[in-house]
Amino acid sequence: MRRTVAAGAGVFLAVAALTVTAPGTASAEPGGPSSPPGFAPTPSPPVEVDQNAPGLMMKDGATLKEPKVLDIRSIVEEQGGAERREDSNFQTKFTLQAEVLFGRDSAKLNAEAHARIKDIAVEIDKQGATEVNVFGFTDNLGSYAHGRDLSKRRAESVHRQLLKEITAQVTFRIRGYSEDYPIADNSTEEGRKKNRRVEVSFPRGG
């Protein structure tokens, strides 16, 4: 079962790290909401506005600011958060919890992982993406160095499987971030589970 959440305006942040200049090769650089998601209270009836009110009139010589393009995000998440897809105006990002891809403290993909990664590869081909980020993350248990090594090896495992499924030529950026950039509270097991993840992102196609 999946649920869809629409998010409002945001700012797009891209993190570039590892670069692959030819298919099949890679280079690495070191290194509680008050309402349910998607819930909005019923708005109050609009108040009639006097369009000729002095406070709404622009002063002589005043100009309007340049229009801004809002980054509208659509989020689809499996019940329990094992897999999450986020689409914005600029990119598509898949987030997979480590438990659905790997065994404990392992970077070896399990049988279920292959089908999930294949679905991502299909979307990459469908959108004609030429650049793909594969980033691994861990929780804050254990040493930072161990987390960096494990998260990098997990990202590389997902990268290798994507290469088997993608038909187009793609430049990959692969990075292991250890416990950096948590998306949940590491003081609880529920939060740590969300932080142990692999993210695959790429610019949206036209």
| CATH number of the domain encompassing residue 184 | 3.30.1330.60
User: 183 lies in a domain?
Assistant: yes
Residue 44: pLDDT band by 50, 70, 90 thresholds? Answer: low
The mean predicted confidence, pLDDT, of the chain is: 80
Instruction: Specify if 197 maps to a domain.
Output: yes
14 within a domain of the structure (yes/no): no
pTM (predicted TM-score): 0.68
- pLDDT of 97 above 60: yes
- More confident of the two residues 46 and 164: 164
Tell me the pLDDT tens digit for each residue of 154-173.
999 999 999 999 998 999 99
The pLDDT > 70 percentage for the chain reads 75
Task: Calculate the CA dihedral of residues 27, 123, 7, 193 and round it to 10 degrees.
Answer: -60
Could you give the dihedral angle defined by the CA atoms of residues 149, 150, 152 and 156, in that order, rounded to the nearest 10 degrees? 130
Judge whether 132 and 124 are in contact, CB under 8 Å. yes
45 assigned to some structural domain? no
Q: Mean pLDDT over residues 40-66, rounded?
A: 70
Task: Tell me the per-residue pLDDT of 23-32, one tens digit each, with 9 for 90 and over.
Answer: 444 544 443 3
Average pLDDT, stretch 86-112?
A: 95
- Domain extent, residue 136, equals 71-206
Q: What's the rounded mean pLDDT across residues 13-35?
A: 42
Q: Which residue has the higher pLDDT, 1 or 121?
A: 121
Q: Is residue 53 part of a domain?
A: no
* pLDDT for 35: 43
Please state the domain count of the chain.
1
Q: What is the b/e burial string over 81-112, where b = at least 16 CB atoms within 10 angstroms of the residue's CB? A: bbbbbbbbeebbbbbbbbebbbeeeebebeee
Residue 64, in any domain of the structure: no
170 found inside a domain = yes
Residue at 136 is within a domain: yes
